[in-house]
Chains A and B, each alone.
Chain A
């Protein structure tokens, strides 16, 4: 099992990449992929990226105008309750378990921009 312990863009990343990959494939790939915009934006390189900035993706106004950089902390808040974090956004899915969120975030952190 690969664990990521480190600081990515100012936020600690402490989950399991391997488990995060499994969770990502199970829960997120209905709408997302790493490399292609689908129902949701592509995720590769999301860490450190400003919210609402993937070219060509039709974001909600809430995300387009958000002053948020995706870090472990902001992603954790987003996945906990997207609507509470950025009211008016489109995602209706949340991840209740803190360890699940940490693992998914670690997987996303490992998917660096090419």
Chain B
């Protein structure tokens, strides 16, 4: 009886896996197989290069975030425990960067390059940061923007696995934003307040 149940479970699982496999798009298959899919068309017919272009924008955002935390750390304005959290968040962004680079290469696209720290310092106008609260507010603003950006690009992906990746990135940025907001003594975000 137990054996029968196990067999039935295995059959159901195989069916589920098969069903899932048939639902995978050309890009998703390429992602799983590690095959460049530059010329692949998505399930909706959209060229995979369009998805890659959007992912490259996300990568540029992650490069900026990594450098923003470096600038915050170098400001000497952060107390030790706060600095530790900032570096943890920076590590998260490095994980995001590496994942995006990996996916972009799998898609056959050239990943966006990181610019110099000086370029980011000027673009982000970090000279205005004069206190720990300023740095936290600055970081919270970037994280909030990133949440909305990632939520905003989800509908643009033709391939669902890439939309899910954008959702995962948004979830991490939301965590960062909420922690930074709490450190600033702000209230928790209202429901449905992101992405609007």
Contacts and interface: CB of A to CB of B under 8 A. Distances in A.
Interface of A: 26-27, 29-31, 33, 35-39, 60, 83, 88-94
A27 B196 CA distance: 7
A36 B152 contact: no
A92 B53 CA distance: 8
Contact of A39 (B53, B57, B155, B196): B57
B53 A93 contact: no
B181 interface: no
B148 A38 contact: no
Q: Is the interface of A mostly helix, strand, loop or mixed?
A: loop
Given A36-B123, A83-B50, A90-B53, A30 B61 contact: yes
B24 interface: no
A74 B135 CA distance: 37
A39, A60, A91 interface centre (most CB from chain B within 10 Å): A39
Interface stretch (B27-35, B73-81, B83-91, B139-147): B139-147
Nearest to B60: A39
Given A38-B123, A39-B64, A83-B50, A91 B145 contact: no
Interface of B: 50, 53-54, 56-57, 60-61, 64, 122-125, 141-142, 144-146, 148-149, 152-153, 155-157, 196
B57 A92 contact: yes
Q: Which 7 A-B pairs have the closest CB atoms?
A: A30-B145, A92-B54, A30-B149, A92-B153, A92-B156, A93-B152, A36-B123
A110 B53 CA distance: 30
Contacts of B156: 83, 92-94
Given A39-B64, A93-B156, A94-B156, A31 B57 contact: yes
Contacts of B60: 31, 39
A93 B123 contact: no
B56, B60, B142 interface centre (most CB from chain A within 10 Å): B60
Nearest to B193: A26
Given A36-B125, A90-B54, 9 more contacts: A26-B144, A27-B152, A30-B142, A38-B64, A39-B60, A39-B64, A88-B53, A90-B57, A91-B57
Contact of B148 (A30, A60, A91, A92): A30
Contacts of B141: 29
Contacts of A37: 123
Contacts of A26: 144-145, 148, 196
Nearest to A97: B196
Contact of B153 (A33, A89, A93): A93
Contacts of B64: 38-39
A88 B52 CA distance: 11
